Amino acid sequence: MSEPVLEVTDLVKHYRTSGRQVVRAVDGVSLAIGHGEVLGLVGESGSGKSTVAKCVLRLTEPTAGRVHIAGRDITHLSRRAMRPVRRDIHIVFQDPYSSLNPRMTIGQIIGEPLRQHRLARGRAAQDRVATMLERVGLRAELRHRYPHELSGGQRQRVGLARALILEPKLIVADEPVSALDVSVQASVLNLVADLQRDMGFSCLFITHDLSVVEFLADRIAVMYLGKIVETGTREQIFADPRHPYTQALLSAAPVPDPAIQRSRQRIVLGGDPPSPTHPPAGCHFHTRCPVAIERCRLDPPALFGDGHAAACHLVTPAGGPLLTSKGV
């Protein structure tokens, strides 16, 4: 097996509040992404997905753990040492309105990475910008416009063009379509899929929308309260979800067929997610889990399984607890 493009090992990120409380945003996350692979990282708001992204990109310093890019440990590299690494990792932000400099033209925004890394200038840079505009489905004349003159979908295409102009090895996409209209989301997702197939970059795709990862991801990791609770291929997660939290997420996701939607049995979780400043002992999910046993309240479960793994004491080689069969 070739070396992964991204490897995260036992990543921890804790924040201290003004009241000296510790927020356990990420609490021991490990994941890997191979060459040309898309890993979908899903979970509720506040589960720690975006914090993982910030640590991977070194936009924030991890409290503990390791981050490797193409085999190189970047966890504690200095700002100077990180500079060449940043050619290989880029981010597409959630908000296409605030992530673009309103004082720069579209051409300047897309070409800025070339200037920063001193890879092209003048006519050569302009030609690469024009090529990138075409690849993301934007007209060449838009290079002279400013962000406020473009629609939300066009702005997100600009964000994609800026991230991809250096042909990086890894793209981190943090909820890149959640701020767009539903009608625009599909076209942007199709564009991401086409670009990923043509350019071959790896992608950490962060979202709370399961329909998005079902369409785009090769593998899926499900997060809950700072921990990964299930990982597997797209087919494994959607056909045989093993963790009770994953089963609940899938039961809440709408399906396009009204008849199937009406006949589905919904798993309703009680209460709100616990505070990351005071996570429960044992399994973090046990306070909301309909099938929790005494061991869940005392003993934190490890990810169990080869390839398709779940952090649940009730998971066996035959699968996980089927909540829908219990009428929950």
pTM: 0.91
Query: Does residue 144 carry a pLDDT above 90?
Result: yes
CA dist 65 → 8, 31, 172, 217, 259 (Å): 8, 12, 19, 25, 47
**How do residues 8-52 score in pLDDT, each as one tens digit?**
999 999 999 887 899 999 999 999 999 999 999 999 888 999 999
CA distance 114 to 168: 12
Q: DSSP 3-state assignment of 192?
A: helix
Query: Does residue 255 carry a pLDDT above 80?
Result: no
Crossing angle for the helix pair 152-164 and 106-116, to the nearest 10 degrees:
20
Identify the pLDDT of residue 326.
37
Identify the pLDDT of residue 231.
97
Query: Does residue 136 carry a pLDDT above 60?
Result: yes
What's the whole-number mean pLDDT along residues 265-279?
Answer: 80
Domains and CATH numbers, the chain: 6-88+168-326 (3.40.50.300), 103-164 (no CATH)
Identify the pLDDT of residue 85.
94
CA distance 43 to 107: 35
Asked whether 143 and 107 are in contact (CB, 8 A), the reply is yes
What's the whole-number mean pLDDT along residues 234-243?
Answer: 94
Identify the pLDDT of residue 83.
92
Average pLDDT, the chain: 90
Q: Which segments of the chain are extended strands (E)? A: 6-16, 22-33, 38-42, 64-69, 72-73, 89-92, 170-174, 202-207, 219-224, 227-233, 309-310
CA distance 181 to 199: 26
φ, ψ (nearest 5 deg) of residue 137: 80, 30
Paired sense of beta strands 227-233 and 309-310, if any: antiparallel
**Residue 124: in which H helix or E strand, if any?**
helix 122-135
Q: How many CA atoms are closer than 13 Å to the CA of 285, on its beta-carbon side?
A: 29
